[in-house]
Chains A and B, each alone.
Chain A
Amino acid sequence: MSVSRRLETFVAFSAEVTAFTPTEVWGTGLTQRYLDTVDGVVGTAMTDALLNAFDRITTQSAGERTAKLRQTVFGCEQLGPVARAVVKLWYIGTWYALPAAWQERFGPAAQDGTFVPTPDAYVEGLLWSAIGAHPPGAKAQGFGSWQFPPGIPKF
């Protein structure tokens, strides 16, 4: 995969597993940073395995993609925990250390641990807009906004 194709596939995969649009994913400004994070933790070979597995199913229907993802990615002992860590990374902005069992079998992943890749990661967590809120300490909604009924954006 070319460098740009790799990033595009990562974005498409991220959009699929978070249920946000690729535009929203790009909009965080963190795509390359997160791809580097994954590469840094599990190595490019394993990241490629994940991206290739997704690339093979991109042309299928949404329902088929979900089923295939469950089988080949989330159901896979090696790729599943990595893919789940990517989901959490997008939602909250924190990379959560891979499970000890994964480390034993497929590790060592040298740079693994629980960490925030960059201060922006916290601020750009996708979760907040999903629940009509904002990350504490950033993107405040304005004086008095909290007294009104909440609004959750439709997707």
Chain B
Amino acid sequence: MSEPAQYDVVIVGAGIAGALVAKRLTTAGLKVLVLEAGPDTTRSIADYTSHLETFYAASAKGAESPWPPAEAAPQPDGGDLFKDKSLPANSGYFIQNGPHLYGSTYTRTLGGSTLHWLGVSLRMLPEDFEMGSRFGLARDWPIRYDMLSPYYEQAEHEMGVSADVVDQRYLGLRFSESYDYPMHRVPPSYSDRVLGAAVNGMRVMVGEDSVSVQVRSYPAARNSIPRGSYQPVGALDVDADGNARRSFLGERCEGNTACTPICPVQAKYNANKSLAQADRRHLTLRAQAVASDILIDKSGHAVSGIRYKRYDDPGSIQHTEEIATGRIYILAAHAVENARLMLVSGLQSQSKKVGCGLMDHPALYVWGLAPFNVGSFRGPQSSSGIEDFRAGRFRTRHAAFRFDIGNDGWHATTGAPDATVNDAVLKQKLVGQRLRSHLEDQLPRQVRFSLAVEQLPNLKNRVTVDPSNRDKLGNPRPVIDYEIDDYTFKGMIAARKVALAVFRQAGITDCSSNAVELPFPVAEYEGEKFYYHGMGHCAGTHAMGDNAETSVVDEYQRSWEHPNLYLIGSGSFTTMGTSNPTLTLAALALRTADHIIARMRKHNPGIEPGPRRRKETQRVNPG
């Protein structure tokens, strides 16, 4: 290359993966450009509040409702799933070939999908990294739990995760000596405690194993009471020049019951908090810049630039085209977009596996009425789970699963409380005192479990692109093939059985088994209908492995074919396990950042050795 590169590192996407890497690289003195497709409307309190108002005013309050996309950077929406009744479903952002609908979504606004995530921050189990050698399924990861463990600790501190280690030592999860989370656990809800008192220690048979059930507080990226000198990061207030003003909002979770879709006080982590901690002297952030393709140099291997389309007005697709150059390139646009970018650029990889192996945690809801008032609709949307079925010998035959125990009544399942009010007023014809008493009696007893079921990487489940189907900016839209297999269906059956046993033990009346015509995607297995929903856990589209024949990236998420290209995020997951993916993808991102710093240092000793040290800019000579 003749022209010197503009930056040391160009990152596509300012979600959590991109933000963590940007923070670490700039702190080491590397000059970083971040290209972000969405608008920069989430970093000042005034802007953030306008998203909150959008949410208040929305009559359908789905996960994306506070975060409407720009014309130039469309995103999938839960509502898309029901616009088309037949396949291929083509009316949203995704083109869905089926046979099953892919139910997950993501957000294309500065800060990414952590703007509306729930904040569940579980580690993967040691055995989740070894599905091949332990269960003869899929492949092992190229790394093991103990290799990632130090990075889990760092990620828990970067994101501000609240939990007590004493609760989290189960099914082989181990922590380094004297380690504890940066903040005490978020207090479990009253309903968690009541449920725990009724069911803890009960035994359920799964296959040949008798499993003891425990209601357990889960680690959450929501601010709680700090341990030691840890400083929780609350709401951001960054002005137009990028200066952060001190804000005291959000240093504790207030129990707004709205982590998804928007935490009003930002007590819940979002990626902008990490980006704000990057060293601004070395960071250039370019919002409203949609990467459109990856350019390769004459050698046919090294990336020479990223072409992107920059727009001025989120309501218009007027744009100009520019090229960003760096010595290293990182795709951090999330699983579907990373694969899409590779494929539109003709970068299939030697293994031909780019886009293949798309996963999620297809999840079922089970809901019922508790025998007495358990105080639903208060606190975080959930604060505990049942984790005892994340591991077991049954994994040779069917998927593992975990339960999230809701604090928000039947909100997610039937649309309560609105639906409960509608039903009472229209169908039961209640008004006045009788209406009020009825609601008082019913709503605080509503209980909901989400049963998130593991999915294996099936190469037929994939993201492709069809050049004849483009978004308004002219970028080809993602085409999705997706099928839930027997392994997962059998896991769903087992999960539902366990959930109903827990309900019986607690005296909760099941109201879900006979529910029909639910507003969720549906799949049939052995004559039974499963209404499932996506968890937002898109993964597996550029899986890591230990060779170029079977995988897209190596253990550092570096492309096998393109030595200066990294693809980061849950797209790199070899298998999925049952944990929500973000903590793991954050740990992987930090590991990649350290690897890049070490690599750059070899060529230029001027780069700061590690994170958290500051020095004046060291200009890095373009190689």
Contacts and interface: CB of A to CB of B under 8 A. Distances in A.
Interface of A: 16-20, 66, 69, 74, 83-84, 87-88, 91-92, 94, 96, 114-116, 118-120, 122-123, 127-128, 130-134, 136-138, 140-150, 152, 155
A122 B408 CA distance: 16
B511 interface: no
Nearest to A122: B56
A95 B253 CA distance: 31
Contact of A133 (B57, B258, B376, B422): B376
A16 B431 CA distance: 9
Given A150-B375, A150-B444, A94 B436 contact: no
B92 interface: no
Contacts of B160: none
Contacts of B426: 84
A145 to B, nearest CB: 6
21 contacts: A84-B431, A87-B431, A88-B421, A115-B59, A116-B58, A119-B53, A131-B440, A133-B378, A136-B408, A136-B411, A137-B55, A137-B264, A140-B257, A143-B224, A143-B255, A146-B187, A146-B379, A146-B380, A146-B407, A150-B375, A152-B440
Contacts of A133: 257, 375-378, 443-444
B525 interface: no
B527 interface: no
B433 interface: yes
Contacts of A150: 190, 373-375, 378, 444
A136 B102 CA distance: 27
Contact of A116 (B56, B258, B429): B56
A152 B193 CA distance: 19
A145 B56 contact: no
A137 B381 CA distance: 11
B557 interface: no
Contact of B193 (A130, A141, A147): A147
Contacts of A17: 431-432
Contact of A119 (B56, B417, B436): B56
A138 B264 contact: yes
B187 A127 contact: no
A88 B430 CA distance: 11
Interface string B369-396: 0000111111111010000000000000
Contacts of A147: 187-190, 193, 379
B131 interface: no
Interface in B415-434: 417-418, 421-422, 425-426, 429, 431-433
A136 B258 contact: yes
Interface in B34-61: 52-53, 55-59, 61
B190 A149 contact: yes
Interface string B307-340: 0000000000000000000000000000000000
Interface SS, B side: loop
Given A147-B190, A150-B374, A142 B255 contact: yes
B56 A19 contact: no
Interface string B442-475: 0110000000000000000000000000000000
B432 A123 contact: no
Indicate the member of B53, B58, B431 with the most A CB atoms within 10 Å.
B431
Indicate the member of B383, B417, B440 with the most A CB atoms within 10 Å.
B417
Given A88-B422, A152-B373, 8 more contacts: A84-B426, A91-B435, A127-B417, A130-B440, A136-B258, A136-B411, A140-B264, A141-B254
Contacts of A134: 256-257, 377-378
B253 A143 contact: yes
A-B pairs, top 6 by smallest CB distance, nearest first, are A146-B379, A150-B375, A119-B56, A137-B258, A140-B254, A133-B377
A55 B97 CA distance: 59
Given A19-B433, A150-B444, A131 B439 contact: yes
Contact of B59 (A16, A74, A116): A116
Contacts of A136: 61, 256-258, 377, 381, 408, 411
B23 to A, nearest CB: 27
A140 B374 CA distance: 18
B108 interface: no
